[in-house]
Amino acid sequence: MNSPQAVMITGAAGNLGQAVALCLYEMARDPKASLAKPTKIYSANADANQEIQQALKLAVSQKKRLLLVFGANWCYDCHVLERALHEGAAGKLVSESFLLVHVDIGEGEKNPALVKTYRIPIEKGVPAVAVLGSDGKLLFSSGDGEFESARTMFKKDLVAFLQRWKAG
């Protein structure tokens, strides 16, 4: 069985280019994947505020922090980050120390109150993340666009970030 190969697309413009890159990424990851239906991370009908409130209730009893990931289904780097958050050492840290909540920004128009509350500069790109304590206090916000180019992030850097912000 062949292992997935990295696919790098350069020079693609706008959402169409990202959608093509995302489809190629999915095909490299899973050759049986459909080009017509890339994986959806962000639910179009989700109430992100309600999901955050529910996760905060669980965070206290589970002694975890919240990891809010702001992005959209069209965003190639959002899919790269999503996968990285569920694999290897990073995946173990996420499952042990965080509750993950996806916040859909759509084309930049969705969830503006949450974008403002958690100081997410979507003009610098997505994905963007915020870490909340179990009390709901904002501990970290990727205000400098640190996760915007997730495809170039080293796994060790993601693990170090999660180590720094894990509960406990």
CATH number at residue 106: 3.40.30.10
Q: Are residues 155 and 88 in the same domain?
A: yes
* Cβ–Cβ under 8 Å, residues 93 and 166: yes
* Cβ–Cβ under 8 Å, residues 71 and 115: no
Range of the domain at 115: 40-165
Q: Are residues 27 and 44 in the same domain?
A: no
Average pLDDT, the chain: 83
Gap between the Cα atoms of 33 and 31, Å rounded: 5
pLDDT at 24 over 80: no
pLDDT confidence of residue 82: 96
pLDDT at 38 over 60: no
Residue carrying the six token digits 């292992």: 3
Q: Are residues 33 and 49 in the same domain?
A: no
CA-nearest of 137, 100, 134, 99 to 118 is 137
More confident residue, 29 or 8: 29
The 10 Å Cβ neighbour count of residue 50 is 9
Q: Are residues 16 and 45 in the same domain?
A: no
